[in-house]
Amino acid sequence: MDQLLQQLINGLAWGAIYALIALGYTMVYGVLRLINFAHGDVYMVGAMMAYYLAHWLGFAVAPSTIGFVIVLTSSMLICGALGALIELVAYRPLRNRPRMSMLITAIGVSMLLEFGGQRVFGPDPKFFPQLIESRSLFKAGAVVLTNIDLLVICVSLFLMVVLRFIVLRTKIGLAVRAVSFSFETSSLMGINVNTVISVTFVIGSALAAAAGAMVGLRNPKIEPLMGVLPGVKAFVAAVLGGIGNFPGAVVGGLVMGVTETLVAAYFSSTYRDAVAFVILIVVLLVRPAGLFGKVTVEKV
């Protein structure tokens, strides 16, 4: 029982990370119908930026909560800009071409970030500085809730609430929803589709960066290929929740994190990474529109 609770806590923390990344996939898929392969790598860049910022700004040697907040937000800003840049250079020129072209470019961008990252950051793992000292907040029997776990969950929750506010209560959020609904109609209604798509990439990438920076706190080993598997898993989470659906992405991420942790704990840790794959196959077989998605038919 204790172990189960402990695994649930771990699973939720990982799930929150997946959820943040999954939101970016879902947003971009919503407006462009593109699986943005590079998204998982933006998450990696987020972790790397946080690492370098922490060192440059001196927070690595003098850890503090405020330091963490500064590192986190700066990394989010940098990656937001990176996301917009990727869209501008690699995706925008291909918008009217077959979807396959954009998908191939996305794979190219993903690889460029991964292997460019290996040249720039070095291929060996780096150790993320302890910006916030890990301590247990709560202990009941063998169950430990660390402040890091709580922080990851709370920050994720906070960002999701902010996102929800932006999407539901602001003009740009309305525009994002409109573009997701229909590209052509939105542009006819005077919405600047280019701006909306850029904003989508900025927000999605910033969320991924936040996930990257927080993962550094929990699992300090970071390296240029760290984004590949979480990227795939977060995508599966988005599909599980129903691609294009925001709450779905969050639920999908949490389910993903918890399932994966439980499988690793009770079954075999070697098959931890296989969980996502099995979930994807099952979802596609049983409920291809995902938990909260609607079946869509292409207009003819």
Partner 1 sequence: MELLKRNAVPLLLVAAQWPVGWLLSQTVNSYYLQIIVYIGINAMLAVSLNLINGITGQFSLGHAGFMAVGAYVSAACSLFLVNGWPAALALPAILLAGGLAAALAGLVVGLPTLRLRGDYLAITTLGFGEIIRVVILNTAAVGGARGLGGMPPLSDFASVYACTIVCVLVIWRLVHSPLGKAFTAVREDEIAAAAMGIDTTRYKITAFVLGAFWAGVAGALFAHFIGYIHTNSFTFLKSVEVVVMVVLGGMGSISGAIIAAAVLTVLTEALRFLADYRMIIYSVLLIVMMLTRPGGLLGRHEITQWRFWSSRTAR
Beta strands in 186-257 (DSSP E): 221-222
Amino acid in the structure at residue 214: M
Least Å from the CB of residue 84 to partner 1: 17
Our finding on whether 159 is near partner 1 (CB under 8 A) is: no
Whole-number Å distance between alpha carbons of 214 and 200: 21
User: Which residue reads 């290996």 in tokens?
Assistant: 118
Least Å from the CB of residue 108 to partner 1: 3
Give the interface segment with partner 1, choosing from 57-65, 95-103, 131-139, 147-155 (CB under 8 A). Answer: 95-103
Nearer to partner 1, 21 or 72 (CB): 21
**CB-based contact 214:19 (threshold 8 Å):** no
Which strand (E) or helix (H) includes residue 282?
Answer: helix 274-286
Our finding on whether 122 is near partner 1 (CB under 8 A) is: no
**CB-based contact 216:43 (threshold 8 Å):** no
Whole-number Å distance between alpha carbons of 161 and 153: 12
Our finding on whether 235 is near partner 1 (CB under 8 A) is: yes
Our finding on whether 254 is near partner 1 (CB under 8 A) is: no
Contacting partner 1 within 256-285 (CB under 8 A): 270-271, 273-274, 276-277, 280-281, 284-285
Interacting residue with partner 1 among 57, 189, 229, 267 (CB under 8 A): 229
Nearer to partner 1, 4 or 107 (CB): 107
Nearer to partner 1, 71 or 239 (CB): 239
Least Å from the CB of residue 251 to partner 1: 19
Our finding on whether 88 is near partner 1 (CB under 8 A) is: no
Give how many residues touch partner 1 by CB under 8 A. 43
Least Å from the CB of residue 275 to partner 1: 10
What's phi and psi for 221, nearest 5 deg? -75, 110
What's phi and psi for 79, nearest 5 deg? -70, -30
Whole-number Å distance between alpha carbons of 297 and 300: 9
Contacts of 74 (CB under 8 A, 6+ apart): 49, 53
Our finding on whether 78 is near partner 1 (CB under 8 A) is: no
Give the interface segment with partner 1, choosing from 47-55, 71-79, 87-95, 179-187 (CB under 8 A). Answer: 87-95
Least Å from the CB of residue 232 to partner 1: 5
Our finding on whether 294 is near partner 1 (CB under 8 A) is: no
Nearer to partner 1, 99 or 139 (CB): 99
CA distances in angstroms from 61 to 41, 135, 207, 210, 296, listed in the order given: 27, 18, 26, 21, 52
Contacts of 137 (CB under 8 A, 6+ apart): 145, 146, 147, 150
As beta bridge partners, residue 136 has 146
Contacting partner 1 within 5-64 (CB under 8 A): 33, 35, 37
* 124, burial (CB in 10 Å: exposed 0-12, middle 13-18, buried 19+): exposed
**Under the rule (CB under 8 A), what is the footprint of partner 1?**
33, 35, 37, 90, 93-94, 97, 99-105, 107-112, 114-116, 119, 228-229, 232, 235-236, 239, 270-271, 273-274, 276-277, 280-281, 284-285, 288, 298, 300
